[in-house]
Amino acid sequence: MRRGDGVKRAPDGGLARFFQAAAGGGAVASEAGGGAGRGSHEAMIEVVGLRKSFGKLAVLKGITLSVGRGEIVSVVGPSGAGKTTMLQILGTLSRPDSGSVVIDGVDVSRLSDNELSAFRNSRIGFVFQFHNLLPEFTAFENVCIPGYIGGRDRREVEARAAELIEQLGLSERRDHKPAELSGGEAQRVAIARALVNSPAVLLADEPSGNLDSRNRDEINRLFVSLRDRFGQTIVIVTHDENLAAMADRKIVMTDGVIA
Ligand SMILES: Nc1ncnc2c1ncn2[C@@H]1O[C@H](COP(=O)(O)OP(=O)(O)O)[C@@H](O)[C@H]1O
Ligand SMILES: [Mg+2]
């Protein structure tokens, strides 16, 4: 295995510079996540009275939820219950019609769109049902990209990516492109990518929904170990009863409310 291969192929920091330029230099990246008023004692996620409609369709009808630091919460419920809509609001990808979302002490409704992008990049990690890796880049490069977009020091990003690749058992696959990875491996790369900026929260939407049972169990155990080893706060939407049972708490959503 060739460590630092990505650096050798881009001696001028080409990939890093490309993404930093695309993100406008990431100048606000470190601002939005920190700031005054951020405390370590309160819950990591605090949402109160979330409502969201699409046209006449009321999808979230008053969701109140608190997730502690280092807690894994699973969200289950029938298709169409509003689980993905809620996760997207928790992840600041979508704004609620009313209600508040405070993540790691930051009231995200007060952030401008630019601040929100920087906050999302640095404080939220997403894992979806499909890995969404960029096909033309290696596993290692895919893991680095959110760090480059955030404008972080390139060597620091690459050191963190290498560490995650190792911790997630992907060392042998580091220089492979997504098409050369198994479903389980690709999903582990996606999880490493979600963690590269050390997010406050990891949000996963049916992360094992597309995997066979062996890979599903492996990914499920990985989530638990991220909590145990790193104190990672995690919210997982899942249909997988095993995964739901492994969580610290299970929330059942039905028709836009928490049962
Ligand atoms: N962008 C959107 N525009 C219109 N309707 C939407 C949109 N997103 C979700 N919905 C509708 O909101 C409801 C809840 O969807 P979703 O949050 O995806 O549920 P779940 O993830 O629990 O299956 C569904 O009826 C869905 O069709
Ligand atoms: Mg969904």
In 3D, which of 139, 98, 100, 101 has the Cα closest to residue 120? Answer: 101
At how many degrees (to 10) do helices 213-230 and 183-195 cross? 20
In 3D, which of 126, 123, 85, 125 has the Cα closest to residue 104? Answer: 123
Q: Return the domain boundaries, the chain.
A: 5-258
Q: How far is ligand 1, taken at its centre, from the CA of residue 250, in Å?
A: 21
Top-level CATH class of 5-258? alpha beta
Ligand 1 touching residue 83 (CB < 6 A): yes
What mean pLDDT, rounded, does the chain reach?
88
Nearest atom of ligand 1 to the alpha carbon of 55? 4
pLDDT above 90 (res 175)? yes
Of the pLDDT bands very low, low, confident and very high (cuts 50, 70, 90), residue 42 is confident
Q: Residue type for 116, please?
A: L
pLDDT above 90 (res 5)? no
pLDDT score, position 15? 76
CB atoms within 10 A of CB 126: 21
Ligand 2 (single-atom ion) residues, CB below 5 Å:
83-84
Give the closest residue (by CA) to ligand 1 atom 3: 54
- pLDDT tens digits, one per residue of 105-125: 999 999 999 999 999 999 999
The pTM of the full predicted model, rounded to 2 decimals, is 0.87
What whole-number distance in Å separates Cα of residue 241 and Cα of residue 231? 23
Ligand 1 touching residue 54 (CB < 6 A): yes
DSSP classification of residue 97: S
- pLDDT tens digits, one per residue of 69-82: 999 999 999 999 99
Q: How far is ligand 2, taken at its centre, from the CA of residue 189, in Å?
A: 22
Q: How many Cα atoms are found within 13 Å in the side-chain-facing hemisphere of 149?
A: 18
pLDDT above 90 (res 44)? yes
Of the pLDDT bands very low, low, confident and very high (cuts 50, 70, 90), residue 40 is low
99 vs 1, 107, 148, CA distance in Å?
50, 11, 33
Cβ(127)–Cβ(187) below 8 Å? yes
Q: How far is ligand 2, taken at its centre, from the CA of residue 128, in Å?
A: 10
Higher-pLDDT residue of 210 and 180 is: 180
Sequence-separated (6 or more) residues with CB below 8 Å from residue 112: none
What whole-number distance in Å separates Cα of residue 181 and Cα of residue 162? 17
What whole-number distance in Å separates Cα of residue 257 and Cα of residue 59? 9
Alpha carbon 31 to its chain centroid, in Å, reads 19
Cβ(238)–Cβ(207) below 8 Å? yes
At 31 the three-state DSSP class reads: helix
**C-beta pairs of 209-216 under 8 Å, 24+ apart in sequence:** 209/129, 209/238, 209/239, 209/240, 210/129, 210/130, 210/183, 211/183, 211/184, 211/187, 212/183, 214/184, 215/182, 215/183, 215/184, 215/187, 216/240, 216/242, 216/243
99: left (phi over 0), alpha (psi -120 to 50) or beta: left
